[in-house]
Structure 1
């Protein structure tokens, strides 16, 4: 086929029609055309319409009834059972011929992934010379459905466009299968031989799949199907698939604002200072228009204290200072009207007093008695002008207090900040028991170390945490626990259950039961190799589809804490608006020899301290076995150690990721 077939994509989503950035299905379908279409396709056009029957039909007929129609229309979205899911009904009445075989192929693909594939209502057929198919709105399901039929669609489109059927079928079915790149073992050519020697599993996606618990222990993988990614590649996937900063909320200025990230520029609501104020204890004076020479004895006609409405004359009225008069003024007090400058009390001598109050002072002005206008005076707005930007969007409110103090000083009582994600922490495994359960452990039982540790770590970084408890190694129970968690929180952290055993059910539950996407399932690092990052599509309270994040961390305590700081924290930062996300990296000098792993990058738990010479040095916390939670005791950094055969020697340089405050050598 010399000329590519023209395809059009129609996204049916009221949400995406309002905000196209929320749609991911279009990109997923384009990816299938590019990777699985065998150069047969060109995506000529794509559109987004609301879940409205007339809008769906109008766009399809524009493509199919044109003088030069597209060969294929793929709609995505609106194929479920929701009240607004109208796509199958809208498309069905447009079809001149129905194609139940294509529907069967798509449903077979969905059912091979999850029994809930039966909840999709695909429609397929031909209008004029255009083939039309409908796929679900979930990017993952849309990809799987299109992949299920993509190899056979060129043949269908050519026939619909009027090609000679006899010529197309010359050579028989075998020739058609060969040209399309399909085999009779399944709808597509994505099959792979199972490592244990059984008949090949039918695969409808190019992404790796976790174990299928329903197949039993003998059919589970003997080796992980997930590629071993380097840490930078894993971090890039986290950046790509973590939702952007959450919707802003209004927050009161106060201590609870610590760690919040501003969602907009903040402008001063008023001048600081709001009045002309003295910056010293002394005497307000009036510089004469003829010059600034002031010396001699002056009557004290008033007093100005740093208190509201405290500026008054000796007779009790408002002080209006005139040339030849002075008024006592304390630091921060508003100047009397007419005052131009303030002479420090140290440059005066008391001459007379009456009833405990000063009545006359002598000003001892040097340099010929010259006092300049504006001396020792803070002018209105000299610190901050009303309307001036005092803090920028994206800045983080620290616990030091400077940002809160600045906001308070300029009269800002409420600011827009990004909502901080709520974190859920779940431990998994039948062997896990509460850490504070009384009595001795039975054979095989393990106290839950990870959950309280990770809850403490997340709270220390300023995030609200929901304790999700312990889930046993039962698929239904784990699925229900995760579904409930995803309704309550923005990000779920689980520990355990991510390795290769028959009871390691987290990956299958995420993929097969929740319809999630595992973006990586192994990382080339030590500790933390089985770390898993996934996203799951869910509907929020407004009925909109959103993506929730799941991090499944290893069960070993040190591994869980290392991977929390290395992977989970950057994801939380991204959702919070923190930039740049992740731990701060600094160069350090090794205080002693450090052994290296021969094949994997190691994140060595260490204590970074600063000496009297200002040099940052790193000391190991001891044995680094991943199950040794003591290796995290007192650790404030992770040393990034590339693999090698020889140790890094004392005095060598390394990069440290800071988890806490730098210590001071004593």
Structure 2
């Protein structure tokens, strides 16, 4: 398929009773859309969720009969509600047993429980239909097995000319009888990109710090690893911190509970009125009654209401014993008051009441011992609930302290610098990262700037790690003469550099290391690139999920949302995180580029609230057209 060719149209159907009620529970549908979009060969025109009902499934399939491909996830198991195969089979004009076998065999290679799945694949006229399990993990495994053959299968269905070209190419690739070489074979040329990906030739270890500049390496010894692999490595080392007890106060939101929390007191703690009015005996009915007592919200004792009398109560006030309803003040009339007009003596009840009306019984909102918050839950609006049930202290996971250290002889503090001399720059990274740490909900520690001097850098790094749980540095991680960060970590601090480059744009030199701390385990170090945009992208991709995991989040990873781009975007040779402004438009999300995306251009971060996850450029696809749906990481609030 050429870059200008029309991509295959796809519909993704999730079959789930629960997800049809709450679409946020649908994890497989968005995952499948992301997997397809990453190839650059598909346009997802429809994605929806229906319950496990044959008619609902069939109606969607019939409606999507104009699409090239329909993928259905869920409803293929043994449960009585799993009816997807029964819904799909009657609609097929031809079955595709080879694809079905491939799906089963790929899953069986992972787990024998895959034998309990009932996949169905086939063709309805010129639409291919594939059913997958409901589990996101199984969906990804199955799609990986068939993703490369789908384009050829769809071309066969639509009689594309490329099919003939494809088979001719296969014929040309058949092995021929070897011929005697007339001359020695030439050495195969390896381009720079190939060298970077050939990890077998890379040591993953810096040269000695004392190595003269003339003998320094001319290319990085660290393999450029995939982004998903880098994220996984960080996750393996970002472990939950210790548990501490915190008072229930305004400082608690954002912490993650390390225990289940139950109510210590009933809510309400007494029979309370929900309105301003009069407590009555329902049996007395409408009429004129003397006012026996008054119950205000701050009352601490409760009286007993006599038959044939009423008591004035305020909202939240105690309802007297014996009373079984409260009549709103709007349904009453004043008949007689005291001579000074200060007290009500007789009131006419103008409306009938039913038992329990406008009364909150003791413990009706929450009983003693009732679970009100669970372990792993982030405290937010629950703060008021904790207060209301008498909880004064809770156990939470400690949040990590994050230090930020800038490096470079040319880097100057903006507060102490009036005019820059040639070759000098203001330290934007430190302020930007400290602000981002605060927005993420963590404590940032300003560690200042360190010059490009091995001894000073070593001392400052050691001092920094004694103060914080996570250290972020910027600069000194590329291939320059004074880029000492990696060798200092390895040779001076006994650190393990888990990766020194990532196949991404921007932020390729991003480095992650752990420094041993004896019995205290290890500290995490993120050595980010010096360019400000590279540093911020690396922070959001790698540091934020690590901080969340250390703070006890159950799902620390970034969520991806599909957005439609408002202009054509040319792809890069590396997967790219393109800064965009995401807004809500007609119920959907649209993204506008922030302009030129150079890693040094801070203006590309202005008002950016999203990072488009762009695939790498391939011969088949070099750009994404306006209107294409692209997965995006939200790093800020949405606007209209």
- With structure 1 as the length reference, what TM-score do the two structures score? 0.63
Q: Which one has the largest radius of gyration?
A: 1
Q: Judge conservation of contact 1:429–1:473 (CA < 8 Å) in 2.
A: yes
Corresponding residue number in structure 2 for 1:330: 314
Instruction: Tell me which moved more, 215-224 or 620-629.
Output: 215-224
- List alignment gaps of at least 5 residues for structure 2: 1-200
Alignment match, 1:621: 594
d(CA) in 1 for partners of 2:427, 2:484: 18
Distance 1:504 1:569 in 2: 25
Aligned-partner Cα distance in 2 for 1:206–1:323: 92
* SS of residue in 2 equivalent to 1:651: coil
Mapping of residues 635-646 of structure 1, within 5 Å: 635-644=608-617, 645-646=621-622
User: Match of 2:289?
Assistant: 298
Matched, 1:389 2:351: no
Residue pairs, 1:321-360, within 5 angstroms: 321-355=305-339, 356=341, 357-360=343-346
Q: What corresponds to 1:267 in structure 2?
A: 262
CA distance in 2, matches of 1:518, 1:490: 17
**CA apart distance, 1:501:** 2.0
SS state at 1:488 partner: coil
Shift of 1:607: 0.7
Q: Is the 8 A contact 2:203 2:221 kept in 1?
A: no
Q: Is the 8 A contact 2:209 2:488 kept in 1?
A: no
Match runs of 1:232-381 below 5 Å: 232-242=228-238, 244-288=239-283, 294-309=285-300, 319-355=303-339, 356=341, 357-365=343-351, 369=352, 371-381=353-363
Aligned match of 1:603 in 553, 577, 595? 577
Query: Taking structure 1 as reference, are residues 221 and 556 closer, same or farther at Cα in structure 2, changes over 3 Å only?
Result: same
Deviations 1:256-277 (A, max 9, x none): 1121111111111211111100
Q: What does residue range 192-211 of structure 1 map to in structure 2 within 5 Å? A: 208-211=204-207
Tell me the distance in 2 between the aligned counterparts of 1:545 and 1:615: 48
Q: Is the 8 A contact 1:213 1:502 kept in 2?
A: no
**1:584 to 2:563 alignment:** no
By how many angstroms is 1:206 displaced?
9.9
Match of 1:633 in 2: 606
Alignment gaps of 5+ in structure 1: 1-204, 312-317
Cα distance in 2 for partners of 1:607, 1:427 equals 28
CA distance in 2, matches of 1:467, 1:300: 67
Deviation at 1:469, TM superposition (A): 1.1
Rounded to whole Å, the distance in 1 between the matches of 2:569 and 2:311 is: 71
**Greater shift in the superposed pair: 270-279 or 431-440:** 431-440
1:210-266 CA distance string (max 9 Å, x none): 121122223322221211111111100011122x21111111222211211111111
Q: Check if 1:445 corresponds to 2:441.
A: no
Distance 1:624 1:534 in 2: 28
Superposed CA RMSD in Å reads 1.7
Superposition TM-score, scaled by structure 2 size:
0.66
Aligned positions, number: 435
**Where do residues 641-660 of structure 1 align in structure 2 (5 Å cutoff)?**
641-644=614-617, 645-660=621-636
CA separation in 2, counterparts of 1:625 and 1:482? 29
1:340-389 deviation digits (Å, cap 9, x = unpaired) = 11112222222222232222222223xxx4x3321111011111111111
Out of 391, 412, 415, the position equivalent to 2:391 is 412
Structure 2 equivalent of residue 226 of structure 1: 222
- Alpha-carbon separation, structure 2, partners of 1:319 and 1:386: 24
- C-alpha distance in structure 1 between counterparts of 2:406 and 2:423, whole Å: 16
What is the CA deviation profile of residues 88-113 of structure 1, one whole-angstrom value per residue up to 9, with x for unaligned ones? Answer: xxxxxxxxxxxxxxxxxxxxxxxxxx
Residue matched to 2:436: 457
Residue range with higher mean Cα deviation, 409-418 or 218-227: 218-227
Q: Hey, what's the Cα distance between the residues in 2 that align with 1:206 and 1:396? A: 43
